[in-house]
Amino acid sequence: MKNIYMIGIGLIGGSFAIDIKKNNPDVVIHGISRKDETLNKALELNLIDKKATLDDIENADLVIVSIPVDATVKLLPTILDKISEDGLVIDAGSTKEAICKVVEHHPKRRNFLACHPIAGTENSGPTAAISGLYVGKTNIICEVEKTTFKLQEKALKLFMDIGMRIRYMDPVSHDKHIAYVSHLSHISSFMLGKTVIDKAKNERDIFDMAGSGFASTVRLAKSSPAMWTPIFKQNKENVIETLEEYINNLQQFKELMQKDNFSEIFNEMENTNHIKQILNGIK
């Protein structure tokens, strides 16, 4: 791959650019963005080599789309219209069903690989891009059988070269499962932050008491609303289902407190401690 086009050069796209360039110094990385200031910053940070437009995509060996999922759904058919017969388009969206569906009958569907690299931080924009973001992280690939085999091979080599693990899943299962382990986490963080901010309006010293536990729990509340609102919208049914289960657990915890049933609260927390072994096992 000689010419790689990045549509979206923030944390996800920019971090891809850093590590791809590290492993392939002869690759020319072209940046595409709605905002010229984003491209200028990406050039300044050496994330990209050149600015480009959508019309230049015909020259691409690889296009990496890392923009909000609603924008991906709108733009992806146009990108596939422009890609060459030998070019590959991959996306990095946190939802997969709507993205896969919008191109299911596209004549160049074989040139698209639906991906979700499960990696990131709460930061956004070109300055958030970091080297090594994807090392040891899982990349979920959906509907791999719909992508031309030789293009699959190119993508898998790229992912493995930057240290990613690969897992295959259908789009519906992906969206259902990711609602629990990612989307719910972000909602919880946003709403905890909101609860404390609302309280702090009357008690200004509340943040003086905030320790590392609070900071780590609300870290995700610093994430971009422009990115996460479309994710929640596209995965609405699954997110509502996870919220109902989560709220039910919170309600049960509250009722145990009201009944002074702290032995059962202890049991609930002790049982949940098992998550330490689960998370250690997937590192």
pLDDT at 281: 59
Q: Are residues 23 and 125 in the same domain?
A: yes
pLDDT at 199: 80
Q: What is the CATH number of the domain that holds 202?
A: 1.10.3660.10
Output the CA torsion sign for 167, 170, 171, 175.
negative
Residues spanned by the domain of 223: 174-281
Q: What is the CATH number of the domain that holds 94?
A: 3.40.50.720
Q: How far apart are CA 78 and CA 92, in angstroms?
A: 17
Q: Are residues 194 and 127 in the same domain?
A: no
Q: How far apart are CA 258 and CA 24, in angstroms?
A: 61
Q: Are residues 124 and 185 in the same domain?
A: no
* Contact in structure between 231 and 92 (CB atoms under 8 Å): no
Q: Which of 133, 126, 89 is nearest to 110 (CA)?
A: 89
Residue 110 three-state SS: helix
Q: How far apart are CA 231 and CA 31, in angstroms?
A: 24
Instruction: Express each pLDDT in 256-282 by its tens digit.
Output: 999 999 999 999 999 998 887 767 755
Q: Are residues 130 and 198 in the same domain?
A: no
Instruction: Express each pLDDT in 133-180 by its tens digit.
Output: 999 999 999 999 999 999 999 999 999 999 999 999 999 999 999 999
Token couple for 75: 């733009």
Q: Are residues 121 and 242 in the same domain?
A: no
Instruction: Express each pLDDT in 20-57 by its tens digit.
Output: 999 999 999 999 999 999 999 999 999 999 999 999 99
Q: Are residues 57 and 157 in the same domain?
A: yes
SS3 labels along 17-45: HHHHHHHCCCCEEEEECCCHHHHHHHHHC
Into how many domains does the chain fold?
2
Which domain-ending residue is among 143, 169, 195?
Answer: 169
pLDDT at 202: 64
Q: Are residues 33 and 159 in the same domain?
A: yes
pTM of the model: 0.90
Q: Are residues 154 and 178 in the same domain?
A: no
Look up tokens 């200031």; give the residue.
Answer: 37
Instruction: Express each pLDDT in 121-133 by its tens digit.
Output: 888 999 999 999 9
Over residues 44-72, mean pLDDT: 97
